[in-house]
């Protein structure tokens, strides 16, 4: 075997192992699969204010680096002020009974954006994080509450149901295995005391 051939073989091996490494790394970066990941990968922002349309592009760009953009788009997180929560409790009390569909908090998106920003290699500047956060708060209210609450619930329940069937281990990893969590995902309204809330 001549030197050239050996060089080609070594070069090829390096490329293959490099590719495998890159794949493993990108899988690792995502932290495993989420039900969210199998939902829609875009938001219809045509009726959003111009500022939010701009922030939407920043969001698409920055929040898809480690996992699919479907993960935040189909997330159960919903940030509402105390006043907003009080108002929604009157008009739509269902929203407060199913945290796998609506996980509501006064700082839920601000905490989570900070968490994502602090991950190694996240490449999101504080000024960008603030804009993305503003977008997520606005967008969640539009798509998950009021007239859209029912459609949101149907979308999220569908994702949870098929995820539980196809990825039972990951379902347990994310939501725990308590029977109340199982009931919630299949449509009953009891609230699990376990996991998702502990993420923030």
Q: Does 113 bind ligand HEC (CB under 6 A)?
A: yes
Tell me how far, at minimum, the Cβ of 145 lies from ligand HEC, in Å: 17
Compute the C-alpha angle 98/103/107, nearest 5°: 155
Cβ-closest position to ligand HEC: 31
Tell me how far, at minimum, the Cβ of 33 lies from ligand HEC, in Å: 10
Number of residues that bind ligand HEC (CB under 6 A): 21
Applying CB under 6 A, among 33, 43, 71, 175 the residue interacting with ligand HEC is: 71
CB 39 within 8 A of CB 155: yes
Closer CB to ligand HEC, residue 73 or residue 91? 73
What CA–CA distance (Å, rounded) separates 120 from 152? 32
What CA–CA distance (Å, rounded) separates 195 from 182? 12
Tell me how far, at minimum, the Cβ of 30 lies from ligand HEC, in Å: 6
- Cβ neighbours of residue 63 under 8 Å, at least 6 residues apart? 69, 71, 72, 116, 132
Q: Looking at 2-10, 48-56, 120-128, 154-162, which segment touches ligand HEC (CB under 6 A)?
A: 120-128
Give me 134's structure tokens.
């503003």
What CA–CA distance (Å, rounded) separates 110 from 118? 12
Residues binding ligand HEC (CB under 6 A): 29-31, 34, 62-63, 65-67, 71-72, 75, 113, 116, 119, 121-122, 124, 132, 196, 199
């Amino acid at each position: 075997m001549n030197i050239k051939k050996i060089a080609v073989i070594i070069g090829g091996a390096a490329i293959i192992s490099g590719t495998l490494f890159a794949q493993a790394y990108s899988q690792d970066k995502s932290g495993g699969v989420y039900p969210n990941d199998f939902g829609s990968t875009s938001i219809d922002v045509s009726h959003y204010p111009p500022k939010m349309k701009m922030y939407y592009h920043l969001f698409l760009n920055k929040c898809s680096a480690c996992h699919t953009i479907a993960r935040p788009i189909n997330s159960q997180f919903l940030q509402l002020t105390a006043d907003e929560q009080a108002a929604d409790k009157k008009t739509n009390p269902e929203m407060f009974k199913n945290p796998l569909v609506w996980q509501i908090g006064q700082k839920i998106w601000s905490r989570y954006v900070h968490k994502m920003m602090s991950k190694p290699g996240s490449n999101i500047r504080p000024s960008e994080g603030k804009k993305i956060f503003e977008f997520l708060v606005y967008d969640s209210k539009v798509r998950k509450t009021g007239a859209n609450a029912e459609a949101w619930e149907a979308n999220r329940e569908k994702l949870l149901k098929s995820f539980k069937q196809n990825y039972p281990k990951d379902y347990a990893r994310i939501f725990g295995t308590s029977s109340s969590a199982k009931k919630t995902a299949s449509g009953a309204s009891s609230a699990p005391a376990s996991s998702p809330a502990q993420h923030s």
